[in-house]
Structure formats: C-alpha cells, structure tokens
Amino acid sequence: MRYFESEVIANQQITQDIFVVQVKRNGAEAAAGQFYMLKSWDTELTLMRPISIFKAEADSLHFMYRTVGRGTQRMARLKAGDPIRLLGPCGNGYPVAEIKGKVAVLGGGVGIPPLCETAKTLRNNGVEVDAFLGFRDVLFAVEEFEPHCANIFVSTEKGAEGYKGFITDLLKPENYDVVLTCGPEVMMRKVAAMCAETGTTCYCSLEHRMACGIGACLGCSIRTRSGMKRVCKDGPVFLSTDLMW
C-alpha cells in the first residue's frame, strides 16, 4: 500500500449519478475486491473516500462511483489532466486464487463495480462465472461483464429492464460452488442466508463508513465470530459465516 499523486486520464458520466474516473496507475498494485482511498481536493474536505477497483489495466485504474455527497460530487467535476491522490490498494479482496468450480457474482447498485474486476480475474483463472446484477431502475456496467461471464442476469425494482424484482430472486445457490456478493447489506444478508441453506460458500464485501482506510483509527470495527475486525484492513471481504449481521 502506498500514498501517491496521480493524474486523471478521463472522468466519464455513465448515468445521471454514476461516473467512472480513470487514473494513471503509476505501477500501483490492484487485486479483485480491493479498494483505494481517493482524494481530489485540498482543504475543503479532510477525509479521503473509499472506492473499489472497477477495472485494472496495465497503465490505469478505473473507479466507478455514484455521486452521493460532497466528496463524490467534487470527484464528478474532475477533468483529464487533473491531479488526484490515491492511498492503496486497501483491504483484502476476494480470495480468487483459492476459488474453483462454478461461481456466481451477485451485486446490487454500486456494489456491482468491484465484481467486474473479480469476474475478470476468475475467468482468467479458468473459473466459470455467472453475474447477477441488481439495479434500482437504470442499468450500468452490464456490458463490462460480458467478456468475463457465461451468463448475466439483470433485475430492476420496477421492471424497467430485465427481471422485475430483486436480483436475489434469480439466484439458485445450489447451482454454484461459491457465491461472491457486494451491495446493500439487506441484499447480502439475504444472499448469505440462502447460501447457508444450501451449504454454498459465500463471501460478502462490506461497506462501512471509513476515516483512515488503513486500519489505524478502528472507526470501521465490527464484531465477527472470530473477534473484532476492521472492515478496511481485515476486510472488506468476509466469509458470510463469520459475520454477525
């Protein structure tokens, strides 16, 4: 992990509130499910913001983010050539090297981006991957999964596109050796419960308010079956059976 100054290559608006910022990689490491702390401001805000690795290319990193507050709205104004500071890679990603067989990646909302690099890595390791992607109404990033997935299932809450309802309705955990999930906690709890019923291994990537992002402030601590854990340093990915929701 290191702190470094980089440069924006592009900052593309995908939907009304979803953007992808591509930054120069400068030799930085990146593994599926890890995240970076980002900062594109000097004094107006103090803390960096945690954003997952969406795509890692040889010379650049892509971060897909939803504008929700001051930090992400400030990021949305970035232009090619602007400076941006990165701290990372942070956390432990999905244990992709250990995963074999048939895998489902299931994401909801901005839990979807980290699953794209994950699907790519698994596919490169010879693992068959299906993607289950749940949206509120407008789709994003679906085409990015196409090269890496055998099947892609899509849902929207009111049926604007794909299946009408929750993406968890479409998952049959018994068809998979491992399920990897990221998104709203209520969705991941449901996935974890479904996997517990069928005895399917399930990993959840938790989202938690973060200050330092590097394990120093303990602000993101959670209780697990194996003691207190910091989401930023010990996670964000946890075995579902270790979590005490």
Ligand X SMILES: Cc1cc2nc3c(=O)[nH]c(=O)nc-3n(C[C@H](O)[C@H](O)[C@H](O)COP(=O)(O)OP(=O)(O)OC[C@H]3O[C@@H](n4cnc5c(N)ncnc54)[C@H](O)[C@@H]3O)c2cc1C
Neighbours of 210 (CB within 10 A): 22
Task: Tell me the closest approach of the beta carbon of residue 9 to ligand FES, in angstroms.
Answer: 28
Q: Which does 171 bind (CB under 5 to 8 A by kind): ligand FES, ligand X, none?
A: none
Q: Which of residues 189-228 bind ligand FES (CB under 6 A)?
A: 210-213, 215-220
Q: Give the distance from CA 122 to its chain's centroid.
A: 15
Per the CB < 8 A criterion, the answer to whether 102 and 176 are in contact is yes
Identify the three-state secondary structure at position 174: helix
Question: For ligand X, which is the closer residue by CB, 76 or 154?
Answer: 76
Question: For ligand FES, which is the closer residue by CB, 196 or 216?
Answer: 216
Identify the three-state secondary structure at position 102: strand
**Can you count the helices (H) and strands (E) in the chain?**
4, 16
Task: Tell me the closest approach of the beta carbon of residue 197 to ligand X, in angstroms.
Answer: 27
Question: For ligand X, which is the closer residue by CB, 154 or 222?
Answer: 222
In the complex, which residue's CB is closest to ligand X? 69
Task: Tell me the closest approach of the beta carbon of residue 71 to ligand FES, in angstroms.
Answer: 15
Tell me which of 133, 171, 232, 237 binds ligand FES, using CB under 6 A.
232
Q: Residue 186: which residues within 8 A CB-CB, separation 6 or more?
A: none
Binding to ligand FES by residue 138, rule CB under 6 A?
no
**102 backbone dihedrals φ, ψ, rounded to 5°:** -110, 130
Query: Can you give the binding site for ligand FES, defined by CB under 6 A?
Result: 210-213, 215-220, 230, 232
